[in-house]
Structure 1
Amino acid sequence: MTKPFLLMAWGISLIFQTSLALASTPSCDAVINAIQQGFQLVKDTPTQSQQTVAFSRGGNTKVYFSCTLGKPDVAFYWDGSAPDVGFYELVGRVGNLVSQSPVPEVVKLSKQCRQEALKNGSEIATIEQKGLAIECQAFERDGGGTTITVFAE
């Protein structure tokens, strides 16, 4: 009698833990809906699928949302020299939707990643921590540019 009870309790615990893990991973639809409703972004040319959506904000900021790997990620492009405060605020707030990391942490790590990319001869850097990965490319030649991609990990 004890073994079946333990097996049932273990099974319920496993289901509960799996549900918690899934609940903490943002769904692609939830993230895309939040991006469309909560930010001053204009949707660019429609795509065939909601799996990849492009947005723009002003003349020098582009945002590309993707969910092709089953988890959302979002890339931010800044055309010009050092990105402004508004750009990093956008990275932090939308990055929080994707990774569920605190906005200030996403901003801090994004700035750090950009600085590492500028120091690196390849102009590319990556920062990873539990629940969050940030990849970036930055350069100062030809007027400069920055790309920051935030992944849920």
Structure 2
Amino acid sequence: MRQIVLPLMLGLLPCPTLADSVADHFRKGSGCHIRQYNAAHLAGHPEQTVTEIALNPSALPNEPGLELLDLFVQVKGRNYEYHALAYCEPGPKQWSCGLEGDGGRFILTHEKQGTLRLTVGKGGLGFEGAQDFLTLYGDRGDDRVFLIPSVPAELCQ
């Protein structure tokens, strides 16, 4: 993710979407999805460690029957981001995605107003960082479901 003033940008640059499905987010919309959690949200969800999450199409070429996405997360107390490559199997109502290297699974569904819902699988999601590992648990805590809005594509560059 980038050092940007996202709350201000999101307020000034609405990103209308034509999305009616998960696929539309990446084919008709910007494909760029970012959510920064403010202090009030984090105070209301004390077990949430994720402070920012981003999901966008990977620069790598898709494989037959799969869509490749880049997933980035930042967490409390760490000044760097974690990245994972996700291999997603498109479906009519949802996409089933797995992280590279047996890093776990998640489901993507379309929500209203250009938002994707990322639901962490029960086995969690594992990320390898520059200095350590991170696990988001799918069966406990407040890092299980993320609503990630579509934002203008230039915010993901």
**Which protein shows a greater Rg?**
1
Tell me: higher relative CO, structure 1 or 2? Use CA pairs within 8 A at least 6 residues apart. 2
Give the TM-score, by structure 1 length. 0.29
